[in-house]
Amino acid sequence: MCRGGLVIALLLALSGSRMACAIDATSIADPALEARYLELTHELRCMQCQNESIADSPVGLASDLRREVRDMLLAGKSDDDVRNYMVARYGEFILFRPRFSARNAWLWLAPPLFLLIGLGVAVRVVRQRGALALTDPDVPDDDGRS
């Protein structure tokens, strides 16, 4: 490999290691409070990125939300207080795990309902095919003769 290629490979390797750094470098002196902070920032959705938590998002809004969570925890607020504040400000969408309510009950009830419907359909199809196989004249007998 030529010297230029080696330099480019080295620069690419170094730039890749920079991207592996954590987005959120916030540390809190109290380990229990820091654990709560990390849990909360992973539960809250970035409103700009929408498929990332505020802990993983590099955008400014996520940084502001992380700072807000840290300040609320340092002020003595509970986890539910922080969640309620964020929901009041940004709506239920900010939570990766939405709360069960009459408004979103279908989110929680639809998957098991569809699973039961699918199982019922599968059982019915298997039974009907079994009955068809017994009445089909083209199916050979089990005694080995065709």
Q: Say whether both 105 and 129 belong to one domain.
A: yes
Q: Give the residue from 107, 96, 88 showing the smallest Cα distance to 42.
A: 96
- Using alpha carbons, select from 58, 59, 80 the residue that is nearest to residue 69: 80
Residue 16 belongs to some domain of the structure: no
Same domain assignment for residues 74 and 112: no
Q: What CA–CA distance (Å, rounded) separates 68 from 57?
A: 15
Predicted local distance difference test score (pLDDT) of residue 99: 78
Residue 86 sits in a domain of what CATH number? Answer: 1.10.8.640
User: Residue 7 domain-assigned?
Assistant: no
> Same structural domain for residues 106 and 88?
no
Q: State the pTM of this model.
A: 0.58
* Same-domain status, 94 and 123: no
What's the pLDDT at 134? Answer: 76
Residue 51 has pLDDT above 70, yes or no: yes
Do 90 and 109 have their domain in common? no
The reply to whether 66 and 127 lie within a common domain is no
Query: Are 131 and 118 in a shared domain?
Result: yes
Provide the domain count of the chain.
2
Q: Give the tokens for residue 115.
A: 């699973």
85 and 27: one domain?
A: yes
Q: Are residues 69 and 31 in the same domain?
A: yes
Which helix (DSSP H) or strand (DSSP E) does residue 109 occupy? Answer: helix 105-135
Domain enclosing residue 92, as ranges: 22-99
Residues 43 and 111 in one domain: no
Structure confidence by residue, pLDDT tens digits, 90-142: 888 888 887 787 887 888 889 999 999 999 999 999 999 888 877 877 766 66
